[in-house]
């Protein structure tokens, strides 16, 4: 168990360093967070999404195995976020994203590779790519205020959505694109996750961190209710072996960094999202080893 804690800390350390770097730079210099966020969401992230989907080796059977699981988890957590937001009387646009979406990419992929090598890593990659579709489709309707004309416009005019459509289309149709184009997408896309962590840290320098009952509620939903939904999905979809463990651990991962960045880009209040991302990431040093231990017992 001690080894799990140490390994988890090592995997998380780059994330903490980049957040700290953003905080230091934001405190020392006049950095416009809105400009950074626009550059990240409208330029670097679309290139990341297009390149990763184009190069993806997801097979139809792998997609079918995890599509139902991820869809169930996303909509169950979305329902939980809606219920909490209505009962608490808070704006769902800045609250739901970190509750629904976990850090299955920047954290989950290296974590699973460290735990069980290529086999587990390939499962979390498929999981993460399916979740990515929801982040940049359902996510736009959330930050747009629901299934409204505004949400539809945000989605239709988003470079990320078109990156998803074009990336999947090129992959499924086996369209061969120039190597230099794909290399450029990979080169730029590699900058997106660390830049996202930097943006969160930069934001923290100008907004004093705080904890209130809604942040605590969001943490419980993301890591506690998320874990229960993950366990339910294992039973519902009869997941076994590595897939079972990957889904259980992924269900309780900390909030995705992009769950703060996307609401920030489109003007939603991000105080809750920002603090949920930071606190759940810190808590995951403890929760990740515990979920691995739970997965072995299920």
Percent over 70 (pLDDT), the chain: 91
Contact by Cβ (8 Å): 117, 269? no
DSSP-assigned letter for residue 103: -
Question: What pLDDT, on the 0 to 100 scale, is given for residue 26?
Answer: 86
pLDDT exceeds cutoff 70 at 260 = yes
Distance CA 55, CA 46 (A): 14
Asked whether the predicted pLDDT for residue 124 surpasses 90, the reply is: no
- pLDDT of 65 > 90? The answer is no
What is the pLDDT averaged over residues 252-272? Answer: 78
Q: Which residue has the higher pLDDT, 152 or 41?
A: 41
Helix (H) or strand (E) holding 38: helix 33-39
Tens of pLDDT, residue by residue over 157-186, are 778 778 878 888 888 888 999 999 999 998
Q: What is the chain's Cα-based Rg?
A: 18
- At 32 the pLDDT is 79
Q: How far is CA 197 from CA 21, 22, 108, in A?
A: 9, 8, 15
């Amino acid at each position: 168990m001690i080894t799990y804690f140490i390994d988890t800390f090592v995997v998380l350390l780059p994330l903490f360093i980049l957040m700290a770097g953003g905080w230091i730079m934001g405190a020392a210099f006049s950095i416009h967070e809105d400009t950074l966020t626009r550059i990240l969401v409208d330029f670097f992230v679309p290139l990341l999404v297009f390149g990763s989907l184009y190069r993806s080796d997801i097979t139809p059977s792998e997609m079918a195995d995890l599509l139902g699981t991820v869809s169930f988890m996303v909509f169950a957590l979305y329902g939980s976020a809606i219920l909490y937001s209505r009962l608490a009387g808070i704006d769902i646009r800045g609250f739901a994203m970190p509750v629904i979406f976990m850090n299955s990419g920047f954290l989950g992929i290296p974590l699973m590779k460290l735990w069980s090598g290529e086999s587990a890593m390939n499962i979390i990659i498929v999981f993460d790519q399916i979740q990515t579709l929801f982040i940049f489709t359902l996510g736009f309707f959330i930050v747009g205020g629901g299934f409204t004309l505004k949400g539809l416009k945000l989605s239709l005019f988003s470079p990320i959505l078109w990156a998803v459509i074009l990336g999947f289309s090129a992959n499924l149709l086996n369209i061969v694109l120039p190597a230099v184009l794909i290399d450029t997408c990979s080169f730029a896309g590699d900058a997106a996750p660390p830049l996202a962590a930097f943006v969160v840290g930069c934001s923290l320098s100008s907004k004093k961190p705080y904890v209130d009952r809604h942040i605590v509620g969001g943490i419980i939903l993301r890591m506690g209710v998320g874990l229960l939904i993950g366990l339910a999905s294992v039973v519902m979809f009869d997941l076994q072996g590595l897939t079972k463990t990957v889904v259980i651990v992924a269900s309780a991962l900390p909030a995705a960094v992009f769950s703060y960045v996307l609401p920030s880009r489109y003007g939603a209040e991000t105080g809750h999202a920002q603090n949920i991302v930071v606190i759940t990431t810190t808590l995951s040093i403890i929760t990740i080893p515990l979920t691995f231990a739970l997965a072995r017992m299920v």
